Amino acid sequence: MGKMECVVSSVVAVLVVVVVDTVSMTHAASTHSSTDHSQVVAEADALRNSGWWIWANQPGSTNHCNWVGIYCNEGGHVTKISLQDYQGNLPLTLGELSKLNLSSFPSLNFLILSGTGLNGSILDQIHSLTKLIFHLDLSDNQLTGPIPHQIGTLTELTYLNLSWNELTGAIPSSLGRLTKLTHLSLYYNQLNDSIPHQIGTLTELTYLNLSWNELTGAIPSSLGRLTKLTHLSLYYNQLNDSIPHQIGSLTKLIHLDLSANQLTGPIPHQIGSLTKLIHLDLSDNQLTGPIPHQIGSLTKLIHLDLSNNQLNGSIPYQIGTLTELTFIEFYKRKVQPESMATKKNGDLFSIWDYDGRIAFEDIFLATEDFDIRYCIGVGGYGSVYRAQLPNGKVVAPAYLRSFENEVQMLEEILHRNIAKLHGYCLHNRCMFLIYMYMERGSLYCMLSNEVEAVELDWVKRVNIVKHMANALSYMHHDCTPPIIHRDISSNNILLDSKLEGFVSDFGTARLLDPDSSNQTLVAGTYGYIAPEFAYTMVVTEKCDVYSFGVVALETMIGKHPGELITSLLSSLCQDLMLRDVLDSRLSLPEDLQVAINVVFVVLLALKCIHSNLQSRPTMQQISYKLLGNIPFPKSPFYAISLYELKNQDM
């Protein structure tokens, strides 16, 4: 995110026409029985008939197991279909889901088609995917119609995401049979009727999001059985009745959002049992009675919003002991006639305290319907605009493809060196986020500009590295669960008017689940991705540490280190002197303390890009080292080699 107009990139989509020859299937398939071979041929034909052959990544390839997004076992049977990996490079969208005959893939474990332009309905034939044990992700498409009750036959499934579609009808009670689910997201559809009480049987769930639908009725008390939940979101529905006291059993919750419903009655005092909560939002309901003093037990709470209810009585003094709180609101927000002008312009500087429709109109007026003249950057996840509002404030609205992820992450993390999210707008016309405007753009662009690069002297560059380290240390070690950014690059480090650094763009960020393998799809920017990620597909904090090291080196040498990293991994760095690789547009540091700081930043960067992730320091260690007494280098500045720094202890 940020000022990225200096980055010019293009993706060339190559359409490959494949000559079909069903005789030359995989060698493995040919060695199996005729029945098995027939099944392999049937799977290939199903893919071919669906149009999948268009994405074949080897000219002339007739082996469907080599096609983009298709993964097979040794027998040639398709076990995984995933085009999420290739969203930015598809020459066309998939279209009607019915083109893919799901009953032809009895060995399928993964089906991931998020954001691929699917339309039509989710077919009844989904019941044939009895071996679908990992992912079913059809999110961010244009699917319509109901969720078929046959989905209840996928009893081995652990991850189900149908969010961001146009699905209608009731949530099928048969979902209650999917007792191995750990993740269920039906967010942002048009689902109606009540939440089936059978969801209470999904006792392995850690994440449940049914927000932004048209659900009615009471919150089932059976949700109290979901004792492994860490995230429960039911906001923006039409749920009524009281909050069930059984919610106090969900003691692992870190995020609870029941806002924007029609809930009545008191806030149950059992909510004080949720001692791991970081985010609690019960706003915009019809809750009555006093604020329970037990909320004072939620010592990790950062965000508390009880506003726009009918609560009475005094604020319990125990809430004053919640030292982590950075956002708190209790009262009903009102508008008097003299403040209508302020309300019309919207207070964008409180994420929950403005009228989304009004702000939506203001942003469109300020950018003249997002005219290209106001665009200040285009990145991998959307476009960034500069908008001066009627009240004179300047903000940076951004279209994002990864909207839900960005909002979720930035709601929950608050740090002075993480780009501040002022607000967001979700509308049937478009969606955008509203950020604090960063006057100096991205670190990449400043380093790329011959004039601006000189303004970034050694002191400012060291400070920017410290800002990055502090933000990442907070994400990795002060958030529960830890948050992995996954796309740290110089383009995603933004600079304000004082040239203070801010980490931005959380569209690919991921909550780190310590109880899972943390396998993920490719995310990040080429040149900044940790080498082990390419072959393990496992995301850890050390992936961010590597990326931080690359950016820290880039900050010191003035450009992406590129081949220098390769040299550092070999004996070629023995003759490389530090003075020869530092940014030549700046004079070498003359002040002794500045020189010591520069040397230490490069030393830390070299430790961070170590090929063995176990040998890399943690971001907490890096942050502490940069804030403490930096050790004096062992050699005079002019005599320091990169080889020496590479092998020197921290």
Active site residues: 487
Q: Give the distance between the most distant pair of CA atoms in the chain.
A: 82
Q: What share of the chain is helix, strand, coil (3-state, %, to 5)?
A: 35, 20, 45
Q: Which residues pair with 435 in a beta bridge?
A: 396, 421
**With contact defined as beta carbons under 8 Å apart, do 115 and 401 qualify?**
yes
What is the spatial distance between Cα 620 and Cα 403, in angstroms, rounded to a whole number? 29
Q: What is the DSSP string of 486-513?
A: S---GGGEEE-TT--EEE---TT-EE--
**With contact defined as beta carbons under 8 Å apart, do 304 and 325 qualify?**
yes
The 3-state DSSP class for residue 312 equals coil
**Does residue 172 have a cis bond before it (omega within 30 degrees)?**
no
Q: Which amino acid is at 458?
A: W
What is the spatial distance between Cα 340 and Cα 337, in angstroms, rounded to a whole number? 5
Type and span of the H or E element at 594: helix 592-608
Token pair, residue 99, equals: 């083109």
What is the spatial distance between Cα 441 and Cα 5, in angstroms, rounded to a whole number? 10
Beta strands 394-398 and 387-388 are: antiparallel
**What is the CB neighbour count within 10 angstroms for residue 339?**
10
Token pair, residue 407, equals: 């909002």
What is the spatial distance between Cα 459 and Cα 447, in angstroms, rounded to a whole number? 15
**With contact defined as beta carbons under 8 Å apart, do 436 and 504 qualify?**
no
The 3-state DSSP class for residue 140 equals coil
* Residues 6+ away with beta carbon under 8 Å from 232: 208, 209, 223, 226, 250, 253, 255, 256, 257
The 3-state DSSP class for residue 56 equals strand
What is the spatial distance between Cα 574 and Cα 110, in angstroms, rounded to a whole number? 47
**With contact defined as beta carbons under 8 Å apart, do 101 and 538 qualify?**
no
Q: What is the DSSP string of 414-461?
A: --TTB--EEEEEE-SS-EEEEEE--TT-BHHHHHHSHHHHHHS-HHHH
What's the gap between Cα 460 and its chain centre?
A: 29
**With contact defined as beta carbons under 8 Å apart, do 602 and 556 qualify?**
yes
What is the spatial distance between Cα 208 and Cα 182, in angstroms, rounded to a whole number? 9
* Residues 6+ away with beta carbon under 8 Å from 20: 48, 53, 62
- Identify the DSSP state of 330: -
**Exposed/middle/buried for 547, CB within 10 Å: 0-12, 13-18, 19+?**
buried
What is the spatial distance between Cα 509 and Cα 419, in angstroms, rounded to a whole number? 14
